[in-house]
Structure 1
Amino acid sequence: MDGEAIIGQLMGPEGRADPYPLYRRAHALGPVVPCGPGMAMAVGHRAANQVLRNPAFGVADHGMRADFDPEFLEHSSAVLLSRSVLETNAPHHARVRSLIASVFTARRVAALEPAVVAAVDALLDEMAGQGSDGSPVDFMDSFAFRLPVGVICELLGVPEADRYRFRGLAADLTTALEFIADPSELTAADEAADELAGYFTELAAERRARPKDDLVSALVEVAAADAGRLSGQELLANLVLLLVAGFETTTNLLGNGLALLFEHPEAAAGLRDGTVTPVGLTDEVLRLDSPVQLTSRIALAPGLAVEGVETPPGSAVFVLIGAANRDPDRYERPEVFDPARTDSQPLSFGGGAHFCLGAQLAKLESAVAMPALLHRFPRLAPAGAPTRRDRLVLRGFETLPVTLR
């Protein structure tokens, strides 16, 4: 099987459900594998890290996409995301990212730990009530979604009463990040983008009139004072991105982590007795079953090569994060779940200019939540088969039913 066939199968239903056998086949072909005219995939850890960190590899931004796929302009979901830092290159990326990064400082995130602990305890109390009669509780809906959405909404200043609506909207919007064969698949994503943009338009107007101590107010103030630092379009796009990215991947991290603990009860026992550290567990979940499996970059300069494979200007490199995290040249027993690893450096949060701003917050939430969950419910067990979302780029569960006693 060559690289083109592997990419094709990854986009199919079986590949989306379980991409890891295809990653093993890709590793056998080398760290960088051509997969079509002007396309290659980086599957080795070093190769993927090199592409992510090299500023000569950029993202497909608004201008590029309008040039090679003008139909993208007809989809509000794609256009909205293209105005965010997720799909922006220098110099605009650094300008907007610096504004957002001022909120996600290490000190600010560390100061959130008491609030995260309180939120975890409150959600566990609610789960205990829901499952007190032995009936199943959906971990994804009752905990894995509600914890990170509550934290990011507090940072943004989104009222608590509005938060319930965001899980479905985010699921629809992020379809625009997947490989879409039929543009009609973006209908729900476009509707979600329109609803989220409308929501933040109203919230921004409210904060402009009555500012509060939150991120929406801070960014609204910047945009009002100097549109050159942050335009109105950029404001809305990045508020939506902050909301969705602030809980979508963490929700999947928590779900993927609990599923692995069910598969490996010895690791769950280690987390309870302290022989497995929360940080070690989080890093190993990120490595073995990453919430983000794939991203892509475009060669922006001549003379680029990755592990000896030339990438001319305009060529695309698919960075298979899920494969790089299981690179046998980087990890001993790469497909074994081992939270005691001391050399785990998963690429799940990206690297370089586009390294995830919320990485530290996601790790904090996981490190607080997982041991608290297992200590609170020592007989926690799966209650029937979970359901995975039919996605390749963003990997996680739709449902994960559990019993508490």
Structure 2
Amino acid sequence: MEPMDIMGALLTAEGRDDPYPLYDEALRLGPAASAGDDFALVSGYELANRILRDPAFGVWDHRLRAKTWGAELMARPSVRSMERSILYSNAPDHARMRTLISSVFTPRRVSALEPMIEAAVATLLDRLADEGADGAVVDFMDRFAYQLPVSVICDLLGIPEGDRETFRRLATQLAAVLDFFDNVEGLDPADAAWLELEPYFRTLIAERRKRPAEDLTSALIAACDADDARLDEAELLGNLTLLLIAGFETTANLFGNGVQLLFQHPEAADDLRLGTARYAGFAEEVLRYDSPVQLTTRVALSDGLMVGDVAVSAGTEVAILIGAAHRDPRRYEEPSRFDPRRLDVNPLSFGAGAHYCVGSVLARTEAALGFPRLLERFPAMAAAGEPTRNDRLVLRGYSQLPVTVV
């Protein structure tokens, strides 16, 4: 298959449901392949890792997108929602914002959250036990996988408990903006979600300006209002929105994909219970084998660059197939085998380099606390019907995962 044929097939319902045969096709083309004058495809692990770390390749920031996307698309509410966040910023803006966010979103702050995360896990497991009593079928995605990270990120941001279910619904809709590609109509629910979320965030910001609290929102507002003004108002709003979406979508899919893999590979659950496999290794292998983030893009910032053996010019888009890189036989032995005891995994699910996800420590902490308690509490947990995929390419997971817990 040609590179553009692979990308086209990945955008179909069949390709989104099972992209791995198409990734094999991409890997047969080599680590990189040209798809015309302004597009290149990367599937090799080492090259993907290198491009993600190379400052010569940036993200589609608001300046670059304004030149290529057109005024109509740039005016869409959901597109505007995060355009001034670290996700869509290049140097020097990115370094300034990331330094600030990293200073308040620290491993120490995450570590301090562990008692709260453990309490949330216990509460959710109790609810699963009640709702799944006598073999009743429950939706693992709805009742645990989404609930835990939503609770954690909302606690971090200082969002009241009574608003969290609404935030989950709206943030799930808004996340479609990360996955729309050529399906502009798919932005309609995301636009509607942002039109509800934006006034809520502005109200929250106004309240925290009057009465600061010990939360991430107050810390970012303080940076915005400081004499050196390290964040402007648009950047404050964009990064709060990004933290909300990134704070739960990837983690929810890590839990959902992980539980489904345990159903498909019961020997892995036995290894975890017996201690012959570590939970940390299990989570890393889930991130590799069925990554919650399957694809990301970069853009060449100047002429005369190389993507592997492919020469590219300024403005060339580089699609990095993370899911393919995780199945690269040049990097992994038997890459199509799920093996929680695999060593030296180093998945690219959270990116690499300057844009490495600031919330990766939080996601791994939630997995480290959630998976062991889940298997300890429900050793007989089993699939109770076919799961439903979320019909996305970039953010791969399930919208429904029916289970029994006894």
8 Å CA contact 1:3, 1:26 repeated in 2: yes
Distance (Å, rounded) in 1 between the aligned partners of 2:105 and 2:327: 29
Superimposed CA distance per residue, residues 380-400 of structure 1 (whole angstroms, 9 cap, x where no aligned partner): 001111100010010000000
What's 1:208 paired with? 209
Residue in 2 that maps onto 1:67: 67
Aligned to 1:284: 285
Q: How far is the alpha carbon of 1:226 from its aligned partner? A: 4.2
Q: Counterpart in 2 of 1:296?
A: 297
SS, match of residue 235 in structure 1: helix
SS in 1 for 2:34: strand
Question: Cα RMSD between the aligned structures?
Answer: 1.2
Structure 2: runs of 5 or more not aligned: none
- The one-letter code sitting in structure 1 at the alignment partner of 2:281 is G
Task: Give distance in 2, aligned partners of 1:323 and 1:182.
Answer: 23
Give 2:266's aligned residue. 265
SS at match of 1:102: helix
CA–CA distance in structure 2, aligned partners of residues 304 and 404 of structure 1? 53
Q: CA deviation at 1:228?
A: 3.7
Structure 2 counterpart of 1:43: 43
Whole-angstrom distance in 2 between the partners of 1:359 and 1:27:
27
* Mapping for residues 381-392 of structure 1, pairs under 5 Å: 381-392=382-393
Aligned to 1:399: 400
Structure 1's consecutive aligned runs of 4 or more residues displaced over 4 angstroms after TM superposition are none
More moved, 224-233 vs 241-250: 224-233
2:226 match? 225
Q: Deviations over 1:267-325 (max 9, x none)?
A: 01111121111110000000000000000000012321122211211111001111101
Q: Residue 135 of structure 2: SS of its match in structure 1?
A: coil
- Verify the 8 A CA contact 2:223 2:229 in the aligned structure 1: no
CA contact (8 A) 1:3 1:36 kept: no
> Contact between 1:387 and 1:399, CA under 8 Å: does it hold in 2?
yes
Q: Is the deviation greater in 107-116 or in 378-387?
A: 107-116
- Listed one character per residue, the Cα deviations across residues 307-344 of structure 1 (whole Å, up to 9, x for unaligned) are 22112111110011111011010000001000001121
CA deviation string 1:154-209 (max 9, x = no partner): 11111111111123212221211114334222111111112111111011111111
Paired with 2:153 and 2:175, the residues of 1 have a C-alpha distance of: 17
2:91 paired residue number: 90
- Tell me the distance in 2 between the aligned counterparts of 1:181 and 1:304: 26
Residues 157-236 of structure 1 mapped to structure 2, 5 A cutoff? 157-226=158-227, 228-236=229-237
Aligned partner of 1:78 in structure 2 is 79
Worse-superposed segment, 227-236 or 152-161? 227-236
Please give the secondary structure, in 1, of the residue aligned with 2:399. strand
Query: Would you say 1:150 and 2:147 are equivalent positions?
Result: no
More moved, 342-351 vs 159-168: 159-168
Aligned mates of 1:184, 1:259 — CA distance in 2: 31
2:192 counterpart letter in structure 1: E
Aligned to 1:26: 26
1:13 is aligned to 2:32: no
Deviation at 1:111, TM superposition (A): 2.7
Structure-to-structure mapping, 1:304-383, within 5 angstroms? 304-383=305-384
Do 1:296 and 1:316's aligned partners in 2 also have CA atoms closer than 8 Å?
yes
Aligned partners of 2:381 and 2:247: how far apart in 1? 27
Answer with 53-62 or 180-189: which moved more.
Answer: 180-189
Amino acid at match of 2:190: A
CA contact (8 A) 1:72 1:79 kept: no
> How much does 1:112 deviate?
2.3
Letter in 2 for 1:297: R
- TM-score, normalised to structure 2, is 0.97
SS at match of 1:295: strand
Asked if residue 116 in structure 1 is aligned to residue 117 in structure 2, the reply is yes
Asked if structure 1 preserves the Cα contact closer than 8 Å seen for 2:61 and 2:89, the reply is yes
**Does the 8 A contact of 1:197 with 1:237 survive in 2?**
no
User: For structure 1, which segment, 267-276 or 221-230, has the greater mean C-alpha deviation from structure 2 after superposition?
Assistant: 221-230
What is the CA–CA distance in structure 2 between the aligned matches of 1:123 and 1:272, rounded to whole Å?
Answer: 21
Q: Does 1:52 align with 2:52?
A: yes
What is the alpha-carbon distance in structure 2 between the residues aligned to residue 227 and residue 174 of structure 1?
32
Work out whether residues 50 and 306 of structure 1, in 8 Å CA contact, stay in contact via their aligned partners in 2.
Answer: no
Taking the aligned partners of 1:150 and 1:6, their CA distance within structure 2 comes to 38
User: What secondary structure is seen at the aligned counterpart in 1 of 2:260?
Assistant: helix
